[in-house]
Structure 1
Amino acid sequence: MLLSPTFSILLLQAASSLAIPGSVVKRADPVVQLDDTTVTGIANGTVNQFLGIPFAQPPVGSLRFQLPRPLPSYNESFPATAYGPVCPQQAFNLTIPSDLPAETQEVLEVMNSGSTRTISEDCLSLNVIAPANASVGSKHPVIVWIFGGGFEAGDPAATDGSVIVNKSIDLGVPVVYVSINYRTKVLITLAFGFLAGKEVQEAGIGNLGLQDQRLALKWIQRYIGQFGGDPSKVTIWGESAGAISVALQMVTNSGNAEGLFRAAFMQSGSPIPVGDIAHGQVYYDSLVNQTGCSNSSDTLKCLRGVPYDTLMDAVNNTPNIFSYQSLSLAWLPRVDGIFLTDDPQQLVLQGSVADVPFVTGDCNDEGTIFSFANLNVTTDDEFLTYIQMYYTPGASVDEVKQILDLYPQDPADGSPFNTSDQNALTPQSKRLAAFQGDAIFQGPRRSFLQQRAGKQETWSFCNKQSKALPYLGSYHGSDMESIWGDGAMSDYFLRFVTNLDPNGNTSINWPRYTLDSPNMLTLLDGSIPLQITQDDYRVEAMRGVSGLMLKYPL
């Protein structure tokens, strides 16, 4: 997700870690052979875990801000018994109002927290979790999890893939789970993974975080069979920035997936409206100035040699996802001419999309979390200025004024949606939440589906659970438990991974999304948790904001 795992997921994992199993005979630790190397994992109940396996040369020293380089081969045995270090993370700084209800504060505090694990630039590793009886030749479908965190933070250890594998075993559709680490803000969104500017483009090193992911997918093709996985049955899956990453893996390389995956599953993320890598020049220049590289004839070379702490201090002085500009991120994927040859949404219009079945869906109130960063926007004029400055800087005032009409100031029209005039922190907060959620999540999802429905098999969903949570509603990330927590969508997810169709011994039939019938599996609170609804809400508003941002991408 754009943020760290949700409060409910953390509680779920804490509970599972405290569970005391019955009389369980300790199995011998599993081993796999990679090239000439024996790798030892952990026997954990009904699964085997292989953690912290390096998949690329460490991106340190002269390899900092360079394309990831594969390991030539494995030639020395090692234990794979602990997650590798977290990639460098940018610090969040959300100011949480003290008068919020306790349940709302708890969610925001979890979102605002960073990883407490060891952080290192030497972080390009992955983790494999497989059924205990899996072996070479098992040919189980493979799930590849790409974490979220706003391209600024994230940790594959934050979610326990054993939950997914054990659920698949219970359903009789065993899978192999892989989670990958990649450079975000400092690793994927930060400077380390998403450095931008003309210097970056000239060096051909844009979108390093996405390149890291691609290399990990190639590693899986080469080695996953040793763990019992089938390299021809890979589904890439992510939430928030992870889901956006999945979408961008679909549109790169002229839509040629290179056999790296056969399906995709996206939670709160689709092809987003981003423009040329030069749009990030101001942030590159800021790093150069703050690290003492401004007088260098080769600023990129200088940045590669800057001490880690100095570089991190400079990165932490740039805007993050909880800064005033919020979802108009400083460090994010941009058009670099190599990995992304055009705005991702333009690539979709051009038909540059991997021809694989996919699922994409959102939470009903995607923007509420991010409206806390701009609570000082309280008037129509301030709203207009904010949108023009951070979301559509090239647009005229008259063009941006369309947004005023499409997203009325009336709190009853804002997000959390369908909560009347309640949940308004300021006169503009619900309006901003509605706009930001549609501009970055809901609008791109609908546009993606409408372009691809009929050309490939597609499904969509909408999470409306947690609607009663004050000021947040069905917030960004609130759908995580629906899969990770053995929730309403977990069976559908695993059926999709196995059969390329989410249906089969599931509670209600989930129809495909078509132009004639834009069906959505809708997750609800209460005694009836699932319902099929239509993707026909805020049509004019989403069309207007999507058109404007396609014309003026971030």
Structure 2
Amino acid sequence: MKGFLLPLALAGLAGAVPIDSQPLEERATVSVATSQGTMVGSSLLGVENFAGIPFADPPVGNLRLRPPQRSTKSLGTFDATGLGPACPQMFFSTEGDLLLSVLGNLLNTPLFQTITGQTEDCLTMRVQRPAGTKANAKLPVFFWIFGGAFELGSPQMYDATSLIRNGVSQGKPFIFVSVNYRVGGFGFLPGKEVLADGAANLGLLDQRMGLEWVQDNIAAFGGDPTKVTIWGESAGSISVFDQMALYGGNYTYKGNKLFRAGIMNSGSIVPADPVDCERCQGVYDKVVEEAGCSGSKDSLQCLRDADYDTFLNAANSVPGTLSYTSVALSYLPRPDGIALPDSPDVLAQTGQYAPIPMIIGDQEDEGTLFALFQPNLTTEADLIDYFSTVFFQKATREQVADLVGTYSSALSAGSPFRTGILNSPYPQFKRLAAMLGDLVFTLSRRLFLESATAANPDVPSWSYLASYDYGTPILGTFHGSDILQVFYGILPNYASKAIQSYYFSFLYTMDPNNGTPSGIAKWPQWKESKQLLNIYSSFSKLLKDDFRSTSAQWIADNAAALHI
């Protein structure tokens, strides 16, 4: 099994292979009457699927690089039996050394992308529910936001059939909704021109309009719009917090709350410079240059007028996440003064977010997948140079050196953690992996929880650390492995059973302990004693959330210099 885990890790980042691959003509159909029209979906294996339902006008032509416009036209009888479209994707570079070339080519194959029908006309919803659900069922709703580094992804990748069937078997049926949102340069293009035009953070605005669509339409599918839990992984997890913090914490629509709880798997706050920062402008200028718009009086309008392939290639000309620059992302949510009034870390500290019950956690070795691309980092000085030039351009070299110095140079201290001197393909790999994982995921989670507990001490939260892939060579319990283990349950062991049970209980009661089966450990709130539920493949235990405390304190004290 272990020999297959590198491809599976890539699948976890880029999405998992859908299991609903039976030809459509072999499936039964089912229909739902909504305010938009009659949605005709498919039924298979006890789950009904309605995909590709538009919630906004096609963001094409002059609507490219503009906020979504709510769809108001009647759809009549609409064929929702397929998987729905995918928004334009940012594929990974296949240039460079052998490792980068191999990984890039693997990720660009249908096996790992599993994305078809890419089109700008992609702002759609996918709804899945137990077969036979009636309009008056009032089932709770999971609202899924896919991950993919804000560069790729689609609801196509995430078939909730097994999740829904498991929920039914536990007596907790639910509706699963996934939103399609613009990614890459189509959804998160930065730059001063973008800011001035009000065209920033379009992907987040797409997600928000998808949540509003749920309020208007989910009752027709048997869902309860007052019982929505937003859930995401990686960039989707970061998006969950961003939805909590959007408009400074305003999460109402037509006087109702858009959601009541949240689950964040690998991601929370990402300290970020504003949309018009110097690095941001470099991304914008590169896209403009590649699109042939440098000489235009209105470069943003020129991008809107460019043909699809020209803009796609231009948007994808900047570095992607599986590259040397790693998680110093070209495209990500950034403060724009309106949708995101400030950097997410500041919004968390000042309580400008929706105070909802939440589950938040990480994989033990979040950084290993992103540290595969820097084999030239052989000394501590190289590592300091890397973070100074690629990540933290506001920090002094002395500050970066101090940060690096909080991480031991001993191989036994790095990630994958607890593996001694093993799993080090190049001299600084384990140290870099530990730092990337902590800065973007693990320690930023702890700092977020500390801020959230201070701002809203009465709001419950539960946190975890997943270790169920301990022993996987090089990668450990890697970023994205929860998609394989938890979402799809590829290995139907204690970890998948326990986590799904916690999530179903949380969906129903906003407490993961209410209604979980016997044999599943009690999960204490994080604020009680700052403990994590440490989950292995066959058991779980409580773990004090105080590891790498020196690094965590340094990050907290210097957060303003660590914006990307």
Fold match by TM threshold 0.5: yes
Rounded Cα–Cα distance in structure 2 between residues aligned with 1:99 and 1:346: 38
1:197 paired to 2:191: yes
Other-structure match for 1:473: 476
Q: Answer yes or no: is the 8 Å Cα contact 1:272–1:345 preserved in 2.
A: yes
1:505 paired to 2:516: yes
SS of the aligned residue for 2:503 comes to helix
- Please report how far the alpha carbon of residue 307 of structure 1 lies from its aligned counterpart in structure 2 after TM superposition: 1.1
Other-structure match for 1:6: 12
Q: Given the superposition, is the C-alpha separation of residues 401 and 322 from structure 1 closer, same or farther in structure 2, using an over 3 Å criterion?
A: same
| RMSD of equivalent CA atoms | 2.4
SS of the aligned residue for 1:29 comes to strand
Among 541, 544, 551, the residue aligned to 2:551: 541
* 1:93-142: CA deviation from partner (whole Å, max 9, x where unpaired): 36798799xxxx99994698434412111111111011122111110000
* 1:164-196: CA deviation from partner (whole Å, max 9, x where unpaired): 2111111101100001110011xxxxx110011
Q: Given the superposition, is the C-alpha separation of residues 241 and 36 from structure 1 closer, same or farther in structure 2, using an over 3 Å criterion?
A: closer
* 1:24-66: CA deviation from partner (whole Å, max 9, x where unpaired): xx99622111226211111223221111111110000010000
Rounded Cα–Cα distance in structure 1 between residues aligned with 2:562 and 2:540: 37
Rounded Cα–Cα distance in structure 2 between residues aligned with 1:512 and 1:172: 25
Rounded Cα–Cα distance in structure 2 between residues aligned with 1:67 and 1:34: 25
Rounded Cα–Cα distance in structure 1 between residues aligned with 2:465 and 2:96: 27
Misfit runs of 4+, over 6 Å? 94-100, 105-108
Q: Answer yes or no: is the 8 Å Cα contact 1:238–1:267 preserved in 2.
A: yes
Q: Given the superposition, is the C-alpha separation of residues 500 and 42 from structure 1 closer, same or farther in structure 2, using an over 3 Å criterion?
A: same
Structure 2 matches for 1:371-386, cutoff 5 A?
A: 371-386=371-386
Aligned length: 532
SS of the aligned residue for 1:287 comes to helix
Other-structure match for 2:140: 141
Structure 2 matches for 1:100-139, cutoff 5 A?
A: 109=106, 113-139=112-138
Rounded Cα–Cα distance in structure 1 between residues aligned with 2:312 and 2:250: 36
Rounded Cα–Cα distance in structure 2 between residues aligned with 1:83 and 1:96: 34
1:520 paired to 2:532: yes
- Please report how far the alpha carbon of residue 422 of structure 1 lies from its aligned counterpart in structure 2 after TM superposition: 0.7
Letter in 1 for 2:521: I
Unaligned runs of 5+ in 1: 19-25, 186-190
Unaligned runs of 5+ in 2: 1-8
Q: Given the superposition, is the C-alpha separation of residues 120 and 75 from structure 1 closer, same or farther in structure 2, using an over 3 Å criterion?
A: closer
- Please report how far the alpha carbon of residue 521 of structure 1 lies from its aligned counterpart in structure 2 after TM superposition: 1.4
Q: Answer yes or no: is the 8 Å Cα contact 2:91–2:108 preserved in 1.
A: no
Other-structure match for 2:83: 83
Other-structure match for 1:397: 397
Aligned-pair identity in percent equals 38
Rounded Cα–Cα distance in structure 1 between residues aligned with 2:108 and 2:521: 33
Other-structure match for 1:494: 504
Q: Answer yes or no: is the 8 Å Cα contact 1:183–1:208 preserved in 2.
A: yes
Pick which of 230-239 and 112-121 moved more: 112-121
Rounded Cα–Cα distance in structure 1 between residues aligned with 2:27 and 2:329: 47
Structure 2 matches for 1:18-33, cutoff 5 A?
A: 29-33=29-33
Q: Answer yes or no: is the 8 Å Cα contact 1:195–1:284 preserved in 2.
A: yes
- Please report how far the alpha carbon of residue 74 of structure 1 lies from its aligned counterpart in structure 2 after TM superposition: 2.3
- Please report how far the alpha carbon of residue 410 of structure 1 lies from its aligned counterpart in structure 2 after TM superposition: 1.5
Letter in 1 for 2:270: I
Q: Given the superposition, is the C-alpha separation of residues 272 and 351 from structure 1 closer, same or farther in structure 2, using an over 3 Å criterion?
A: same
* 1:333-358: CA deviation from partner (whole Å, max 9, x where unpaired): 11111111101000011111201100
Structure 2 matches for 1:135-174, cutoff 5 A?
A: 135-174=134-173
* 1:264-318: CA deviation from partner (whole Å, max 9, x where unpaired): 0010010111111123110100111111111111111110011111112222221
Structure 2 matches for 1:298-377, cutoff 5 A?
A: 298-377=298-377
- Please report how far the alpha carbon of residue 5 of structure 1 lies from its aligned counterpart in structure 2 after TM superposition: 4.0
Q: Answer yes or no: is the 8 Å Cα contact 2:14–2:153 preserved in 1.
A: no
1:278 paired to 2:276: yes
Rounded Cα–Cα distance in structure 1 between residues aligned with 2:104 and 2:220: 40
Q: Given the superposition, is the C-alpha separation of residues 178 and 549 from structure 1 closer, same or farther in structure 2, using an over 3 Å criterion?
A: same
